[in-house]
Every structure is written in structure tokens, then in C-alpha cells.
Amino acid sequence: MIVLATGTSGFLGRTVVVELIAAGHEVRTLQRRPSGVAGARDILGSVTDAATVAEAVAGADAVVHLAAKVSLAGDKREFRAVNVDGTRTLLDAAAHAGVTRFVHVSSPSVAHAGSALSGAGADPADPVNARGEYARTKAEAELIALARDEAAMRVVAIRPHLVWGPGDPQLTERIVARARRGTLPLLNGGTALIDATYVDNAASGIVAALHRADAVGGRAYVLTNGEPRPVGDLMAGICRAAGVPAPRFSVPAAVARAAGAAIEKLWEVRPGADEPPMTRFLAEQLSTAHWFDQTEIRRDLQWDPAVTLDEGLERLARHYAHTRA
């Protein structure tokens, strides 16, 4: 198949392109910077530009849509322009171009209203109760995408949860950087049970969804490693791999949520250069259970993750050892 993949200059997007090429597909990419993947044809631009999107999707058989504005804070208009309007523009162009399969890469946060999730499934996206502009706009985008599922173009939504691995500039590097500075707290002792997704597993699951779109169109799935552990243990494993001290001090979750609310208000007036150190959403993520039943996705996509959590941590340790060398 000829596959257009958007948002592939990012960590997960590049890995998806490598997986698509390895599966024998001809891959085009659409993003604002080169993807850096040999064998892919890059088209530079934004999903907010209808003309560029039409050019990129012309003649394609399938689309894997990863492009998004991902942040804990920022201008509401930017979130909407990219996550909602950009998704709608891409869907319109894909339908016009005769695309038959569309994988919308979403997030578990689209169905999270702040409570613990223990063995949960992929509940319907809920823009009203989702926490933060990223989650709200991604929820709206997912609903728009799934509403376009029909016989002519099958649409499936995949929600990878906490993607990490070597070279990850977001979750992994932020944990390591804050641990190195001694500013990474555990909330409520780091006991909340969570699951994460090694990047290779996220990519292979997304490609499996593309291959199975005819059978699973109209569905949303949460994708994880299926190995829930206490959040403190996961962060300690990442820190050990990077050779930095694991977090040792604990903060009550209620205090972190209050601090997050105050920081959010400050960021609206005077945003910092990096992500805010705490938000209400982040406090909830670090202090409540987040793990998901993987029975349906593995059965329906005929897929299993190939890299265990411990093997992923070993790969991460080798990555940091090589970087230091």
C-alpha cells in the first residue's frame, strides 16, 4: 500500500514509518520538519494547510495520522487548529482521494475524567470531561474521525499509553532531567499502578491496526505493554537506566494538584520556556491508577507486544551507556 503518515518527525512517528517500510509499504510523510527516515518520501507542511494535505494524500491507499499539538499548556487556538481542524482537513482530503484505511492515533486521556482506571477498556472519547486542552481537542478529533468510518474508508482509533524508549525527548528525558536536578517527586509514595508502552510496541500495534482496519473499523483501542507496575518503580527503572538517582521524596497528591492549579494560572499569564513542572492533569496521572485491559486489542488486531518492560529498560540502559561513551 501507499501510506501517508503525518507527524513523523516526532519520536513515535519516526518509529511508525520504520515499521511501515519494514512491512513493505511505500511511505510518504507529512510534517513541518524532515522525518529523517531513509526510504520515506517527505512532504513538508502542516495538516492545517488544506492544499499541502491534498497534495500529500493524492494517490494514497491509507493514512496513519499522528500529527498533533502535544503539550500540558499552550494557546487553546493552536490545540484546536492542529488537533481538531487539522484532523478534519485530513479526513476530508483522504475521503476525496479515495483512501480506504485511516488510523487515527489518539490518547487514553480522551476518556479520562480524573478518576483511577484499573483494567479499563477504551471508553468513548469525552471532550466535555477530558482534562486539559490537549485531551479535550484530541477527544473531539477522535469522535470526528470515528464518525467518518464507512465501507469506503474504514477508520480505527489507537490510543497508545505513555510511550517511552531510547531517544524519547518527552516522557523519558523529562523524567531523567528532573531526577538529575532532584526535582522529580513521587506523589503519594509512587504507589499508583500504571502501564506504559515501549515505543516499538506502540509502532507495531499502530501498523497492525492499519492491516486490520477492514475488520475493526469504527473502534477505538487503548494500546499498552500490558505490564502494570507502580509508577515509582517505573520511574526508578528509567532513572537506573540513565544512571541518575531515582526519586525519593514524596508529596501528597492533593498538594500537587493545588500546586498544579496555581502553576496553570501562572502559565496562562507568563508561560515558561519548557513544560510546566506540575499541572492538575499531571498530578492525577502520577497519583491514580492507569492500566488497561489488553484482551480486545490483542485479539482484534491479532497482535502482541514484542518488547517486555524489562527488555525495554535494558535497551534504554544500553542507549544511555552509548550516549555517555
The pLDDT confidence band at residue 256, using thresholds 50, 70 and 90, is: low
Where are any strands of DSSP class E within 142-236? 154-160, 163-164, 186-187, 193-194, 197-198, 220-223, 229-230
Grid cell in block for residue 60: 494514497
- On whether the pTM is more than 0.75, the answer is yes
Residue 76: partners with Cβ closer than 8 Å, 6 or more residues away: 133
Neighbours of 199 (CB within 10 A): 23
Element (H, E) at 60: none
Considering the chain, what is the average pLDDT of its residues? 89
Question: Which residues form the catalytic set?
Answer: 134
- Tell me the domain boundaries of the chain: 2-161+197-224+291-306
pLDDT in the model for residue 214 = 96
pLDDT in the model for residue 290 = 83
Distance CA 153, CA 129 (A): 29
Which letter, b or e, does each residue of 128-144 get, where b requires 16 or more Cβ atoms within 10 Å of its Cβ? eebbbbbbbbbbbbbbb
pLDDT digits (tens, 9 = 90+) for 183-214: 888 878 888 899 999 999 999 999 999 999 99
Distance CA 170, CA 149 (A): 32
Grid cell in block for residue 158: 489507537
Return the ∠ at Cα 115 (arms to 113 and 120), rounded to 5°: 90
Mode of pairing for the β-strands spanning 26-31 and 163-164: unpaired
The number of residues making up the chain comes to: 325
Q: Which residues pair with 2 in a beta bridge?
A: 26
CATH 3.30.70.1710 describes domain 2-161+197-224+291-306: no
Distance CA 51, CA 67 (A): 16
Q: Which of 64-78, 160-174, 186-200, 299-313 has the lowest mean pLDDT?
A: 64-78
Grid cell in block for residue 272: 515558561
Residue 53: phi and psi, rounded to 5, are -60, -45
DSSP state of 184: -
Mode of pairing for the β-strands spanning 117-120 and 290-292: parallel
Helix, coil or strand: residue 109: helix
